[in-house]
Structure formats: C-alpha cells, structure tokens
Amino acid sequence: MGRGRTIPHVITLGELHEARERVAPVLRPTPVEVSESLSGLVRRDVLLKPEHRQRTGSFKIRGAYNFVSRLPAGGEVVAASAGNHAQGVALAAQLSGMRATVFMPTNASKPKVDATRGYGATVRLVGEFYDEAMDAAREYASEHGLVVVPPFDDPLIIAGQGTIGLELVDEAPEAGTVVVPVGGGGLISGVAAGLRLSDHPALIVGVQAEGAAAMQASLAAGHVVTLDTVSTMADGIAPHAVSPLTLEHVQNYVDTIVTVTEDELAKAMLLLLERAKAVVEPAGAAAVAALVAGKVPEGGGAAVAVVSGGNVDLHLLSRLIGA
C-alpha cells in the first residue's frame, strides 16, 4: 500500500447477511440447477447458477438495490453503463421510489436502452465509449448534488453481488469449485467473500476474456493495471481496469483467474442455447466456457458455474449460430 492511500474496505460477513436480507424481497429465486448435458460433456458434475433469469436479466440488480435502497426515497440517482448495470440501477431506483438518470454510450444496444427506459429511468445517450458516458454522469451528478451508483468499486455493491455467494453456501454445500466471470471484479469479490467468510471450502476460480484480462494482469503486477485496449465480444466483462477494492478481495479470497478465447465463449453460448435452453450473453457464458475448455482446476465435488447474465443482442446470437 502506498502512503496516503486508503486501505480498501474488505466486506464482512455481517455486511453480506445484511445485504441478503435487504435484497431478498425484490429478487427472483435462482436456485442452482444440474446441467446433465454439460456434466456429461466435461465429465464432472456441473451446476448452473442461472442469474440470466434474474430480474433485469443479470445479477446487477443485487448490488444496485443494496446501494440505492439506502438512499432517501423521492430523490434521484445517476449511473453510467452500456448494459446490465444500467438496468439494475433503473429497476433499483423504481423499486425504491427514486428517479434514475442513466448515461449510456451512443453505441449501447437498442434493447438495453429500451429496457432501461422500461424500468422508468431517464436515459441520456452521451459519447462513443463508456468513459465519456461516465464523465457526463459525474458532471451531471456534481451539478445537481446527486449520487453516482458505481458499477463495482464499492462495498455495498460488492456485498449485494455477494448475496450469490451466501445462496451458494445453502444451495451447493457440496460444490468443490465455484467459477465466476470477472470484469471489474464486483461479482467475484462478493461471491468469494460470501463463500470464504462462511467457511465454504470450494476452490474459487475467476474467468476473464483473453482480450480483456485486467484482473489477471493486476494480480500478476500486485497493483491495479490499466489495459490500453480491450477486445472481446463479452461487453459485460470488458473494463480497462479493476479497482483497488476488488483487487484486494480477489487477492484475499480467489484461488486463480483463468482466461477464455472468443471461440470458447461462442461455443459455450451455443451449448447453453442448445442443451440448457438458456439465452446467455458472452460474459454470462464465461464460466461455462472455462469448464468446457478444461481450464478450471479440479476441486473435487461439483463445479458451479455462475451464469451472470442473459442480455445479449439476438443478432449476435444469430451470427454465432450461423458461423
């Protein structure tokens, strides 16, 4: 730790349980499911945690609601996102009696923009890339004295995502390995803390897209590394950098981070479509991709793949099917 830097606040079991109590009433239950076809294919028991069927189509509502629902009702929150976080914040605000203004880059897909508006948010399309949308969000928030809901770099967000870890303690006590997609690291930070702090013995494996492996690079360097470029269709896990807070969680609680190629992601998406009848976005397929590619170390017992989201442009699916 450098001088003057705040020590990141690693979340506690108490914060996780408090988050679980808070978010439970607004979640759709997503109990783990055995996938017989994937189990046959990878020759180990595979369980799926189907967060693509969560409200808003991804796990992001968990962290967003844990954060937003603590703010005074009647107010307004701000966020920037090209996708799942936008929908999570929009629904969290709606459920909390608040307004939401969400800044999305102009290249955000129409279904995601429509869905965000569908949850009652005001959408502002600004900038070509996420960073420009985030700059605009910060400026708007500071102008109006509002709070920006961070996508991953926050203990309340991490604790919200970590409710998945607590659920896995109940739903898959026999799991030997838990495999989690990693972008900014909010999801794996929470899941890993939830499992470890509950003394669940599973190996915890993170999966990144080969073309956007900011967490792996940061782990190797021992500090947050910013990637110059990222290149993957898995837009849900493609930030240029993680945060000190999520890196700290991963250093403490995660056993290893592996990467998957675009072909491996595509193959996993098609397998999930054909065999699990599940529409999953590229990021959501990352854990399954790593399992199918044989990149996940054996932990004994079943492997749980967290299927983090299903918000995929159908035209991308169509292209993958045709390829």
Contacting positions for its own copies (CB under 8 A)? 28, 33-34, 36, 40, 52-53, 55, 57, 111, 118, 270, 273-274, 276-280, 310, 314-315, 317-318, 321-322
Shortest CB 195 distance to its own copies, Å? 25
Nearer to its own copies, 128 or 274 (CB): 274
Give CA–CA dist 105/90, Å, rounded.
16
Nearer to its own copies, 242 or 268 (CB): 268
Q: How far are the Cα atoms of 51, 75, 178, 206, 234 from residue 289, in angstroms, in the given order?
A: 16, 41, 13, 12, 12
How many residues are recorded in the chain? 323
Q: What is the largest CA-CA distance in the chain?
A: 56
* Sheet (strand 122-125) strand order: 122-125, 99-104, 76-80, 147-148
Active-site residue, 308 included: yes
The closest of 107, 63, 139, 92 to 238, measured between CA atoms, is 107
Our CA angle for 212, 216, 213, nearest 5°, is: 5
Nearer to its own copies, 3 or 315 (CB): 315
Nearer to its own copies, 112 or 200 (CB): 112
Catalytic residue among 35, 58, 60, 267: 60
Shortest CB 310 distance to its own copies, Å? 4
Shortest CB 281 distance to its own copies, Å? 9
Evaluated on CA atoms 90, 191, 254, 281, the torsion sign reads: negative
Shortest CB 189 distance to its own copies, Å? 25
In the numeric block, which tokens belong to residue 68? 């937003």
Contact 137, 78 (CB under 8 A): yes
The closest of 277, 259, 260, 200 to 35, measured between CA atoms, is 277
Active-site residue, 112 included: no
DSSP state of 144: H
In the numeric block, which tokens belong to residue 255? 């056993």
Shortest CB 85 distance to its own copies, Å? 18
Give CA–CA dist 91/66, Å, rounded.
12
Shortest CB 314 distance to its own copies, Å? 5
Nearer to its own copies, 37 or 256 (CB): 37
Distance separating the N- and C-terminal Cα atoms of the chain: 47
Nearer to its own copies, 224 or 270 (CB): 270
- Just list the catalytic residues: 60, 308
